[in-house]
Amino acid sequence: MKGIFVRSKMMLRAAVGSVLAVGATAALIPAFSADATPGRTVDSNTVESFGRMAEAVLQDRTSALVDNRSTGRKAPSGAGKKVRLSSGLVHSEDTAVSSLQDRKKLLAKLGEAYSAADTKVVVDKTEVKGSRVTVEVTESTTLTYKRVRGDEPTTTGFKARHELTFSAAKGGKWELTGIQSADRGLRAVNAPVPAAATADAGSTPNAARAATTWPVKAVPKKQTSGYNYAAMAAYAEKYWRNYNPEYRKFNSAGGDCTNFISQALKAGGWKPEAGKTSDYTKWWYDSSAQSDSWVGANEWSWYAQNSKRVTSLSNVYQLEVGDILQMDFDRDGSKDHSMITTYRSRVGMPYLTYHSTNTFRKSMASIIASYPDANYYAYRT
Q: Are 295 and 262 in contact (CB under 8 A)?
A: yes
pLDDT at 229: 97
Question: CATH topology for 4-181?
Answer: Nuclear Transport Factor 2; Chain: A, (3.10.450)
Dump pLDDT digits (tens) for 23-32.
Answer: 322 333 333 3
pLDDT at 41: 65
Domain boundaries, the chain: 4-181, 229-380
pLDDT at 297: 93
What distance in Å separates the CA atoms of residue 354 and residue 361, rounded to the nearest whole number? 8
Kindly report the number of other CB atoms within 10 A of residue 245's CB atom: 8
Phi, psi at residue 109, to the nearest 5°? -65, -30
What distance in Å separates the CA atoms of residue 303 and residue 351, rounded to the nearest whole number? 24
pLDDT at 368: 97
With a cut of 70, which residues of the chain have pLDDT below it? 1-41, 69-82, 195-206, 224
Which of 2, 24, 369 is CA-nearest to residue 189?
Answer: 369
Task: Give every CB contact of residue 300 below 8 A, 6+ residues apart in sequence.
Answer: 258, 261, 262, 283, 293, 294, 338
What distance in Å separates the CA atoms of residue 228 and residue 217, rounded to the nearest whole number? 24
pLDDT at 195: 55
pLDDT at 30: 35
Phi-psi region of 288 (alpha: psi -120 to 50; beta: other; left: phi over 0): alpha
SS3 63: helix
What distance in Å separates the CA atoms of residue 314 and residue 335, rounded to the nearest whole number? 17
pLDDT at 46: 86
Which of 291, 132, 128, 324 is CA-nearest to residue 210?
Answer: 324
pLDDT at 74: 39
